[in-house]
Copies of this chain bind each other. A is one copy, B any other.
């Protein structure tokens, strides 16, 4: 039974992935500083072992004979996804993978150093090398997969996503946002004139913020028998589905940053905890990809926790944990105004729901040009500045640190990944619209802190589906239509118009 061989292999890989995931979470949350070198050796060994195990030549034979076996429909889906992952993992020559990973590691290290020094000239040659390798990778993957080069890169993050579908959607969104951002800022100024933004007081002791976060996680459906919340410098959601490791970090002068972070990561965590338990050892039983994962975190963060109805339920809980005095008269309206604040800025990760997609579209357009050979790294600062000026009215020409040097993705060789963020935001909006259509009283449930109906829909339509379908197919099956930019646009208009 070759399918059984593949399942046994899947269990091995799951055991290795488990070790890597927990060691990595421990590294970020618990490891003393002197433990880093030996930890890196251990994790790097496990990554090597994982690659070797997942790409062994006999797997191709097992796949071939499994295809001739009498498989159930579920097994057929499992085999298809196994094959897809194996093909993607083995289609690059080992020597190329080594060269690429070394170049990316050096480039990322250099980026960390030179970004702080705002030294584009020093960094550009390393990025040129990384772009050259990314072009080569895209060509090789494209040949094997029968896809266009940039599609072959997107395929690594969101299986099934294609330029032909994604580009028109993001073009429509761009056309809308370039005019909508100034309008939304103007509307916001009018609102702030009528009810000025208040500054929150604090201090908010870390332990109370933590308890607030835990109680929100609980209410949202986080299963504490299969996960925990810790502290790390960069918040993340890691671990494994049976042991999800979420983190946040706290500032005593502000509770919203940590809390919104907790809500975002809870969205990721619910997806992981909601995956089908019996399939966790197979690719088909794992989360679908970056855009779908981001849709789950942004569903909680933006669709739920940016809505005034959410804060009708949440604000009394915030007061109970942090104390009325520390909140100094902050009310539901004040929190809603704070979480929905729109502001033009240079930095993607600091951007809000409205301006964020323009940051993404800028990168999406530039990285297509880079991969396609229509743009060279030497011309990147000017190209970045031109788009930034056009989309957000901000010039970065004198400040590459806040321009093309601001993100780790390109220095580390991740091309094709940026669209996932905004696709995730749009998918979240489309899921919410579908839920609202079938559950007319859903907002009333939210005002009472009852998330069971939205969770049930997401469990049925997203979580338990795992990787049975491609990203666009999964969305279509869940919402009855392909990705529709008008839904996200309507959402933005309603909230910020």
Contact = CB atoms under 8 A, between A and B. Distances in A.
Contact of A41 (B14, B31, B32, B44): B14
A41 B16 CA distance: 10
Contact of A38 (B33, B39, B240): B240
Contacts of A225: 32-34
Q: Give the dominant DSSP class at A's interface.
A: helix
**Residue among A11, A23, A31, A35 facing the most chain B CB atoms (10 A cut-off):** A35
A226 B32 contact: yes
A96 interface: no
B243 A15 contact: no
A228 B46 contact: no
Interface string A23-36: 10010001111110
A242 B45 contact: no
A486 interface: no
Contact of A243 (B31, B223, B227): B31
A12 interface: yes
A305 B386 CA distance: 71
**Residue among A15, A31, A49, A227 facing the most chain B CB atoms (10 A cut-off):** A15
Contacts of A18: 38-39, 41-42
Interface string A208-234: 000000000000000111111010000
B32 A22 contact: no
Nearest to A280: B38
Contacts of A223: 34
Contact of A39 (B42, B230, B243): B243
A183 B377 CA distance: 86
Interface in A29-73: 30-35, 37-39, 41-42, 44-46, 49
Interface in A234-264: 240, 242-243
Contacts of A280: 38
A22 B46 CA distance: 14
Give the interface residue-count category, chain A: 35 or more
Nearest to A241: B38
Interface in A1-23: 11-12, 14-16, 18-19, 22-23
Given A14-B38, A15-B45, A32 B227 contact: yes
B46 A19 contact: yes
A157 B230 CA distance: 38
B32 A19 contact: no
Contacts of A45: 11-12, 15-16
Contact of A34 (B16, B23, B49, B226): B226
A280 B42 CA distance: 13
Contacts of A31: 243
Interface string A287-323: 0000000000000000000000000000000000000
A19 B242 CA distance: 18
B34 A242 contact: yes
Interface string A466-488: 00000000000000000000000
Interface in A143-187: none
A122 to B, nearest CB: 32
Interface string A350-391: 000000000000000000000000000000000000000000
A226 to B, nearest CB: 4
9 contacts: A22-B39, A30-B30, A30-B230, A32-B225, A32-B227, A34-B243, A37-B242, A38-B242, A38-B243
